[in-house]
Structure 1
Amino acid sequence: MMSAAMNERLTQVGPGTPGGALLRRYWQPVALLDELDGPRPVRPVRALGEDFVLFRDEAGNLGLIDRGCPHRGVDLAYGRLEDGGLRCPFHGWLFATDGRCLETPAEPEGSTLCHRVRARAYPVQARAGIVFAYLGEGEAPPLPAFDCFVAPDSHTFAFKGLIECNWLQALEVGIDPAHASFLHRFFEDGEADAAYGKQFRGASDGSDLPMTYVLREFPRPRIEVEGTDYGLRVTALRRISDATTHVRVTNLLFPQAFVIPMSAEMTITQWHVPVDDTRCYWVAIFTSFAAPVDRARMRAQRLETYALPDYVARRNRANEYGFDPAEQASRTYTGMGEDINTHDQWAVESQGAIQDRTREHLASTDRAIAANRRLLLRAMAAVEEGRAPLLADAGAAGLTGPATIDGMAPSESWEAHWRAAVARRRAAAPWGAPPLDLPLDAAAARAADPQAAE
């Protein structure tokens, strides 16, 4: 049973909290590049309980600075983009993307005040359609060479959505393989040609069985969890018959992301970024190992569910998530439509703004959730002791992958089979996905794919 103090330690993210200190050791995906489109590329950003302003100057440089002007604290999100920076409308002070004060035009001629004033600025970089920011002290660690960062822009697509609850309970849905058989259950299987861009709507790798069928008819997965150099690998095994087992391999990227298969050719890398203690954004990169991503189609699909400019869910607590009892009786397990993001949002928001974990009773299917909480607590202790937590040092640069799969395998050689399937998919990727360290001895390779071994 978890104590209230431990629950606070795991969920608080503001300055001066153990969780906040930990998350500030990692690059945070604070905005989509799309949010800077238009004639005025300035966006307020709230992350980890603090307020910032993101902007692109006239030369195309990105900057993230504190939202309050260093002069008298007014809101720089209303600033003027001009003369190489962002100018405060109150007294005209001008700030560059690196926080330097370029002008204080109301001061007397010859004043050197601007040389002694800076706005606090934060390192930023744009990767795969997302603006990442480092909000901590000291030197930022490198971003790992994960697939979503290695693939070209043509093979990635980024999107996000607001969730009205604490980041940790939102993340924990993604490392819970058992819930998909219930929360995302469909009573009828859809057409294969309508599955593009939708999770659980297509067929598993190496099978013509729709994932909706597999999840619905085989709801008791055996779950295995192993520690890795990037966090956790989670394997869910559903025995279809004596001869065949469905294998789904997903990953926790410590501390706040997961990588899961969306279809036979596409993966989702998804972060859960705290706005504050009671709200977060999911921010995802979809990566294709085959054809270029149809970005227009993917974006249009998701804009049916989320409203701009703040990416707020159209189905939410205010309208009961679109709940329809007739639909629940005949079409979907939740009665909340076919978008699984809506299902997940209801599940995590209904726990409360911050889940009271002192009242929960974890089960055997929650082993990944328990393992991740232990990782978080150890990492917080490491930061407090002045040590680098997992993935927050130079070694992160050498990490690749990670491996995901959603497919059928021979029951007697499922582990060898999924590793070989991952290797084949990566070798066939048109953008040169780097091989992973998933060793197979010769006998295991032949068992997994006899023809390939000949």
Structure 2
Amino acid sequence: MMSDEQNALITRITPGTPAGNLLRRYWQPAALAIELEGARPIRPVRLLGQNLVLFRDGSGALGLLDRDCPHRGADLAFGRLEDGGLRCPFHGWLFDRTGRCLQTPAEPDGSKLCERIRQNSYPVVERAGIIFAYLGEGEPPAFPALDCFVAPDSHVFAFKGLIDCNWLQALEVGIDPAHASFLHRFFEDEEQDAAYGRQFRATSADSDMPMTRVLREFDRPDITVEPAEFGLRLVTRRALSKESTHVRVTNVLFPQAFVIPLSSEMTITQWHVPVDDKSCYWYAIFTSFTGPVDKDQMRTQRLKLYELPDYRPRMGRFNDYGFDPYEQATKTYTGMGDDINVHDQWAIESQGRIQDRTREHLGQTDKGIVAYRRLLVTAIGAVERGETPMMILDAAQAAAIIGPATMDGVGPAGGPDSYWVKVDARRRESAPWYQTAE
């Protein structure tokens, strides 16, 4: 358990809070690049409790400004893209993407007011279909050489979804290898198809055993948590027999992402990004190690479960997550359909909009969550002391953060970690883009 004060320390992220100061030291996903397509590339963004407006100017360059006009506070998300910037419709004040005031047209001739006005602006960059923003002070860190950033655009797909709770409890579902044996249990093994959210229906590497059977029949995992240069590596083993063991390798990418295997051919890098203290978005980049991804198909699949323009889920508290008691008795452990994202959403949202950790009782299988919270508290303390927390990288350091490796396979019982290392190396050797990237 922890105190109310400790819980607030690691969950509250609005401007001026300790955790908020930490997260502002890193690049944060702010929007999908596709959200700025179309005739009017302007998008309101709420990120880390701040109201912002994201846009492309007439040259196509990205800009991110505070959303309230510095004249009288009108909403710049309703602005006009013209004359090289974003113009407020209230009195015509014009700002470029750096926040410089270009015009105050209603002021008298010769007015110097415009020269004294500067709207807050923030660095933005597009990577792998996501627009990242930096809300902190000073120079932003370099991007690590993650697979999702190294692979060509043809081999990555980005998507997002809104979650109605605090970012930390949403992130912690990805740091919990034990929950999959229950929350994502299916009573029938089916072949993996093109449907979204059925990643646990695929077979593990080096076997013909569906993950559904592994998770259903072998529900006492042995979890090892290892420190890594990028955060944490979690190795989860489930003994299948005297000869074989199911091995799953996942990673915590500090400060608020994880990297997991989707199949033997694809991985997911997923961030949980605070909108404010009580809601967040998940942003995911799917990376293919084989052929190009069908972006149109993947987006169409996912939009069956999420509504535009805000990527709100079609299942939630408002409709009991589609719960069906007959299905729970006969088909799935939750009774909430085939999409494991709905399962996760229920698990984390049902804890409340900010989980009360003073009432929790952690067990041995929660060791990854415990290790991550310690990293988080240590990093918060470092920022409070004026020190540099982990994963604030220069160019050379960023180039050394490769991968990180993930896998889901069946290897020899009691074997060393060389098994999953070899599986990951084998996948990379077969990826045409990985050899090119090297």
- TM range, smaller chain: over 0.9
Deviation at 1:425, TM superposition (A): 0.7
Give a deviation string over 1:128-161, Cα, whole Å, max 9, x none.
Answer: 0000000001111111111110000000000000
Distance 1:14 1:196 in 2: 33
Is residue 5 from structure 1 mapped to residue 1 from structure 2 by the alignment? no
Residue matched to 1:402: 404
Residue matched to 1:135: 135
Residue matched to 1:226: 226
Contact map agreement 2:91 2:106 (CA 8 A) in 1? yes
Residue identity opposite 2:417 in structure 1: E
Give a deviation string over 1:20-54, Cα, whole Å, max 9, x none.
Answer: 00000000001000111111110000011110000
Residue matched to 2:378: 378
Is residue 419 from structure 1 mapped to residue 421 from structure 2 by the alignment? yes
Report 1:284-323 matches (<5 A): 284-323=284-323
Is residue 118 from structure 1 mapped to residue 118 from structure 2 by the alignment? yes
Give a deviation string over 1:329-371, Cα, whole Å, max 9, x none.
Answer: 1111101111111100000000000000000000000000000
Provide the secondary structure at the position in 2 that maps to 1:412: coil
Label 1:139 to 1:20 Cα distance change in 2 as closer, same or farther (>3 A): same
Provide the secondary structure at the position in 2 that maps to 1:35: helix
Distance 2:312 2:435 in 1: 34
Greater shift in the superposed pair: 196-205 or 3-12:
196-205
Contact map agreement 2:225 2:368 (CA 8 A) in 1? yes
Deviation at 1:171, TM superposition (A): 0.2
Residue matched to 1:89: 89
Contact map agreement 1:195 1:201 (CA 8 A) in 2? no
Report 1:147-166 matches (<5 A): 147-166=147-166
Label 1:414 to 1:290 Cα distance change in 2 as closer, same or farther (>3 A): farther
Residue identity opposite 1:292 in structure 2: P
Give a deviation string over 1:204-259, Cα, whole Å, max 9, x none.
Answer: 11111111111111111100000011000001101111111010000000010000
Label 1:101 to 1:397 Cα distance change in 2 as closer, same or farther (>3 A): farther
Give a deviation string over 1:288-325, Cα, whole Å, max 9, x none.
Answer: 11111111221111111111110001011000000000
Label 1:257 to 1:264 Cα distance change in 2 as closer, same or farther (>3 A): same
Residue matched to 1:428: 430
Label 1:212 to 1:16 Cα distance change in 2 as closer, same or farther (>3 A): same
Residue matched to 2:73: 73
Deviation at 1:378, TM superposition (A): 0.3
Residue identity opposite 2:328 in structure 1: Q
Provide the secondary structure at the position in 2 that maps to 1:207: coil
Contact map agreement 2:143 2:393 (CA 8 A) in 1? no
Contact map agreement 2:172 2:369 (CA 8 A) in 1? yes
Provide the secondary structure at the position in 2 that maps to 1:269: strand
Is residue 391 from structure 1 mapped to residue 388 from structure 2 by the alignment? no
TM-score, normalised relative to structure 1: 0.94
* Structure 1 residue runs without a partner (length 5+): 437-454
Provide the secondary structure at the position in 1 that maps to 2:346: helix
Deviation at 1:199, TM superposition (A): 1.7
Provide the secondary structure at the position in 2 that maps to 1:285: strand
Label 1:131 to 1:90 Cα distance change in 2 as closer, same or farther (>3 A): same
Deviation at 1:112, TM superposition (A): 2.5
Report 1:3-402 matches (<5 A): 3-194=3-194, 198-394=198-394, 395-402=397-404
Deviation at 1:192, TM superposition (A): 3.5
Label 1:194 to 1:159 Cα distance change in 2 as closer, same or farther (>3 A): closer
Residue matched to 1:451: none
Quote the RMSD (CA, aligned, Å). Answer: 1.4
Contact map agreement 2:196 2:339 (CA 8 A) in 1? no
Contact map agreement 2:99 2:120 (CA 8 A) in 1? yes
Distance 2:210 2:297 in 1: 21
Residue identity opposite 1:56 in structure 2: R
Give a deviation string over 1:93-122, Cα, whole Å, max 9, x none.
Answer: 111111111111111112222222111100
* Structure 2 residue runs without a partner (length 5+): none
Deviation at 1:397, TM superposition (A): 4.2
Contact map agreement 1:427 1:435 (CA 8 A) in 2? no
Distance 2:191 2:370 in 1: 37
Distance 1:407 1:189 in 2: 17
Provide the secondary structure at the position in 2 that maps to 1:283: strand
Contact map agreement 1:150 1:433 (CA 8 A) in 2? no
TM-score, normalised relative to structure 2: 0.97
Label 1:51 to 1:313 Cα distance change in 2 as closer, same or farther (>3 A): same
Residue identity opposite 2:419 in structure 1: H
Distance 1:434 1:418 in 2: 23
Contact map agreement 1:196 1:202 (CA 8 A) in 2? no
Residue identity opposite 1:17 in structure 2: T
Residue matched to 1:450: none
